[in-house]
Structure 1
């Protein structure tokens, strides 16, 4: 039987149950193959991947060194229980720790970012003997029990089955919850707000603050100078652990190996997934500081997964991190972000009244779209859907969330591909701006 878009679409609609969806309203895009920053369907229509799928294919699609490593590992040892020592797992942990700050020497592997956050929370509670986890309203930490309860966005509300979670407002100057008029005010007032939340929730009850250094799904919200250092100081003052969720922002996305490196702050636990092997085989984990690691030398860690450190995923991590180092992928993300991409997005913001703000680092940017710049009125959902479908029709795979386009191409992207993507955005934003901007 000849494989066609219609056949694959029909199979999907008959048999596949999708996430975060009303099943009867779905019309999924069919993808047949990919390479680098491009994907295509069975009819040959090509798409420039400006979303990195779900902001995870940092090294691009079908990188030959990663594919070869997975094949070689499959031929040697396709699976092994986590209790055994395995070369691929040890080498993967070593590679990750080489990129972590001083004071970290162990990695606990999970299957993805959500269960990585689950286990970081579990470690923090066990280490401190406390129960509560503070996290931001503008955040996303995953779809498992404690991870979704820690998440701030509205998907949390139907899923709040886990105990011991409280939330605070993190800084977002464009839509300040603190009536701030500049970055310094936003920082100071956000930190004072967090202090009051800690005091009101009871410092002696709080195990950890869980925070994305740059919240991704919530809008690529680069914090103001001094904010993350202030959070670190509050955590230290009250004996609270600091967990950084680097699932989306880590491993090159911001032009550094970890996003927190931009802010000269070190957490107690680092959660990772996505870009560590670009999702070629599902993997995530927690980088554990030495103090917490030593605690579990004498205390039981009540956590584990059948596929923790799965050898195929570990081989993909080793090959991905080696290739990124050898090919200067992180440096490319920084150069592109500071250069053609960042500058091009600034030009789009000046050209189109529909763009309220552009922000970001590396290949981690967002365009916030509004119907009225003065009032900062978020562009309506119907208009955002129109933009999404127009971008797809023009051959771009976008990441659209709320009233934003997240501009998050693979870290390997070249200047010509960035220019192509910017031209597509320019065309579509121009057409929509004429209809919807005040």
Structure 2
């Protein structure tokens, strides 16, 4: 059988059930292969990937050293039960602990970010003897039982089967829930709001606060100065476990190994997935603080997964973390992301009034699009779909969420690739300004 764009599309629509979708309305993009920051279809049409897919291909597509690491493990051991000891798993854990810091003792491996958050919540509840979990309305933590209930965005509503979840408003100065006029006010009032939620819910009933280190799907919402430190202090004051969700923001995305390292705080549990191995093999996990690890020295942990620490996933983690260090990808994400990329995005905002705000750090940015800068009226879903289609038509793969274009290239993106992407966005937003601006 000839494999081409049409045969792949037809087979997909005949046999594959897609997530978050009305099945009959789907027209998925066809992809054959890729390399670095590029993907292409069976007809040779190339796309510059400035979404890193779902913000996970941090070393780009088909990195030869990561592929080689997986192939070597294939020849040694393809799979093994998690109760055994395995060299690849040990190597992955050691590397993760090295970048997390001396306060952390062990790593529990999962299959992805959602079950990482599930197990972190389980650990916090067992450690504290409490039940409730606080998380932000502006968040996404996964699509399994407790993870989707902890999620703040509206996708949680048809999935709220898990118990004990309470939400609060985290900072978002551009659309402040606290009537703040500057970053200091947003921080102060946000922390006071969180304190009141803790007090009203009963501090002695709260096991954990679960926060994204830099909220991603919610809008790349960089916390105001002092906010994360204030959350850490509240957790210490009330004996609450702080779970830092680094699934999307970790592994170079913000110009550091972990986004929480920008805030000089130490969480009690760190959840991870996505960029830990660029998504080459499904993998996630929980990095566990010494004090929580010690609690389980003489108590059984009631959780596990068949593929916890799967050898192929572990080999991909080792290879990814090694190549990121060897090729200075963290430094590149910092230099280019906070340099030409940040400057270019801000220049676009100066040029196009459809951009209400530019925010982000490293290779993790968002352009919030509005019909009117004064009213901050959001573009509609249809208007955003028009913009998305125009970007893809011109060979740029964006990450679109609500009224935002999220700009998230691989950590090893080049200045030339940034220039190419900015030129496409510039052209499309120029078109969008003439169609959608209402000023």
Normalising by structure 2, report the TM-score: 0.99
* Pairwise CA RMSD: 0.5
Q: Tell me the residue number matched to 2:390.
A: 390
How far residue 102 of structure 1 moved from its aligned partner, in angstroms, is 2.2
Secondary structure of 1:298's aligned partner: coil
Secondary structure of 2:100's aligned partner: coil
Q: Tell me the residue number matched to 2:265.
A: 265
Q: Tell me the residue number matched to 1:188.
A: 188
Q: Tell me the residue number matched to 2:298.
A: 298
1:168 aligned to 2:198?
no
Deviations 1:234-283 (A, max 9, x none): 01100001000000000000000000011111100000000000000000
Q: Tell me the residue number matched to 2:357.
A: 357
1:281 aligned to 2:281?
yes
Secondary structure of 1:374's aligned partner: coil
Equivalent-residue separation in structure 1 for 2:343 and 2:208 (angstroms): 38
Deviations 1:317-350 (A, max 9, x none): 0000000000000000000111110000000001
Q: Tell me the residue number matched to 1:17.
A: 17
**Stretches of structure 2 lacking an aligned partner (at least 5 in a row):** none
Q: Tell me the residue number matched to 1:239.
A: 239
Equivalent-residue separation in structure 2 for 1:298 and 1:164 (angstroms): 27
Q: Tell me the residue number matched to 1:421.
A: 421
Equivalent-residue separation in structure 1 for 2:275 and 2:316 (angstroms): 11
Where in structure 2 are the equivalents of 1:22-421 lying within 5 Å?
A: 22-421=22-421
Deviations 1:360-414 (A, max 9, x none): 0000000000000001111111110000000000001110000000000111100
Equivalent-residue separation in structure 2 for 1:155 and 1:320 (angstroms): 31
How far residue 13 of structure 1 moved from its aligned partner, in angstroms, is 0.1
Number of paired residues? 438
Deviations 1:280-305 (A, max 9, x none): 00000000000000100111100000
Equivalent-residue separation in structure 2 for 1:381 and 1:57 (angstroms): 26
How far residue 153 of structure 1 moved from its aligned partner, in angstroms, is 0.1
Secondary structure of 2:413's aligned partner: coil
How far residue 3 of structure 1 moved from its aligned partner, in angstroms, is 0.9
Equivalent-residue separation in structure 2 for 1:112 and 1:435 (angstroms): 40
How far residue 434 of structure 1 moved from its aligned partner, in angstroms, is 1.1
How far residue 101 of structure 1 moved from its aligned partner, in angstroms, is 2.4
Equivalent-residue separation in structure 1 for 2:102 and 2:134 (angstroms): 25
Deviations 1:295-316 (A, max 9, x none): 0011110000000000000000
Deviations 1:11-67 (A, max 9, x none): 000000000001011000000000000000000000000000000000000000110
Moved over 3 A (4+): none
Secondary structure of 1:297's aligned partner: coil
Equivalent-residue separation in structure 1 for 2:171 and 2:289 (angstroms): 27
**Stretches of structure 1 lacking an aligned partner (at least 5 in a row):** none
How far residue 435 of structure 1 moved from its aligned partner, in angstroms, is 1.2
Secondary structure of 1:68's aligned partner: helix
Equivalent-residue separation in structure 2 for 1:57 and 1:302 (angstroms): 32
Equivalent-residue separation in structure 2 for 1:50 and 1:391 (angstroms): 11
